[in-house]
Amino acid sequence: MPPHLPKSMGRLALLLAGLSMFGPFSIDAIFPAFPAMGASLGADKLAMQQTISAYLVAYAAMSLVHGPLSDALGRRRVILAGLVVFIGASVGCALAQDLPTMLAFRALQGLSAGVGLIVGRAVIRDVLHGDDAQRLMSQVSMIFGIAPAIAPVIGGWILGVGEWHDIFWFLVGFAALLFAATWAWLPETHPAEHRSALVPRRMLRDYVLILANRRFQRLAAAGALNFAALFLYIASAPAFVLDLLRLDERSFAWFFAPMIGGMMLGAFTSGRVAGRMPHVVQVNIGFACCGLAAAGNVAYGLLVDVPAVPWAVLPIALNAFGVAMVFPVLTLAILDMYPRQRGSASSMQAFTSLALNAVVAGLLSPLVSGSTATLAIAAAAFTLAGWLVWRLERYRIKRLPAGQCEPGIPAPAEHV
């Protein structure tokens, strides 16, 4: 084991999962408080939806910077700086008295919240390779999957005993705890001799080259579109839980618990089959689960006038299982294309998904969340699009001569 590795991989998985959690916490914890926040800030439902969009647009834009910064300055330093900014932004949200102020600090939260997830992926690939990297990625995904399930529940509890401002104070405390844990537990995994210079022109060139890579485009699009089907439900959670299912502010667990249960089971399964099942087979199984979930969702939405738990959320759990089976394989394949630019590759992959999610949350969700049928059909369209891009990737790989690969890309048989 290289000297820069921590002695406990379990502790590293727990820390990296925690670092990736504060981004989802920032989205999901405030869902139960949407009515109270809207009344306090003088904002209607559509305006409150923009608190998600402002966060995601900033998150997506800054995701292009986190990776190259960590390639140039080191992983640990960038993560600690991001946590400091997030703490300050959360304080600003807690003290906000009007919607413009809230949107400004939500954007600042978004600028910093992606650092743990994006740089954390590069940390995993710094310290482990092959099936071991997939196992750790799956462990992180499994722990990370708890966040969307418990965040709205915690938000509902906090709202029950306090005010919506207290949810942001909770985020301040959570980020401060992560800062202390990172300072104490996370070593620098990207030594100085492997770092690249922080030159904007070179960074732009690297991004152009990555984005122009057709295999990157296919793998990133397949993952982003597949996850967008699930994220559409996450972004529509206030309307889905409060309006369509007609539950109260403390009942978000009915939606998030099955979904995250499916995601954790998928991540656990992905870790167990690493090295035992071909990666292509694993991704195919994941997409098959997502397709079955999409069909069940559409059928339920069209046949049932008044949705009810648990039937309305069971297909979402299966969708989450499939997403968790697909994600680790596609992510590691992308990172392995660029062994000296993992931060940049991770950033570009994250940007691809986040840009799509920002459109889903800000534009599509308000249009389709009025009924279970339209919500299910829109989600199914994303699942189908992701699968078609994946099939295109497999078609392109099969057309390559045996033992060859596209320029600058590792042999496909090693990964997907």
Per the CB < 8 A criterion, the answer to whether 372 and 312 are in contact is yes
- Is the per-residue pLDDT at 4 higher than 70? no
Q: What is the DSSP letter of 401?
A: P
- Calpha distance 352→223 (Å, rounded): 9
In this prediction, residue 406 carries a pLDDT of 44
In this prediction, residue 410 carries a pLDDT of 41
- Is the per-residue pLDDT at 408 higher than 50? no
In this prediction, residue 379 carries a pLDDT of 96
Angle at 249 between CA 244 and CA 253, to 5 degrees: 80
In this prediction, residue 18 carries a pLDDT of 83
In this prediction, residue 106 carries a pLDDT of 94
Q: How many CB atoms lie within 10 A of CB 70?
A: 30
For residue 140, give Cα distances in angstroms to 19, 62, 136, 271: 10, 22, 6, 10
In this prediction, residue 5 carries a pLDDT of 43
Per the CB < 8 A criterion, the answer to whether 85 and 112 are in contact is yes
For the ranges 42-51, 357-366, 377-386, the one whose mean pLDDT is highest: 377-386
pLDDT digits (tens, 9 = 90+) for 85-144: 999 999 999 999 999 999 999 999 999 888 887 787 778 777 777 667 767 777 676 666
In this prediction, residue 210 carries a pLDDT of 87
This prediction has a pTM of: 0.73
In this prediction, residue 9 carries a pLDDT of 67
E-strand stretches of 328-407? none
pLDDT mean over 225-242? 89
User: Three-class SS of residue 129?
Assistant: coil
In this prediction, residue 222 carries a pLDDT of 95
pLDDT digits (tens, 9 = 90+) for 278-323: 889 999 999 999 999 999 999 999 998 888 888 899 999 999 999 9
In this prediction, residue 413 carries a pLDDT of 36
Angle at 231 between CA 149 and CA 392, to 5 degrees: 130
Q: What is the DSSP letter of 32?
A: G
Structural domains of the chain ordered from first start: 9-414 (1.20.1250.20)
- Calpha distance 233→62 (Å, rounded): 24
Q: What is the DSSP letter of 199?
A: -
Angle at 119 between CA 69 and CA 53, to 5 degrees: 90
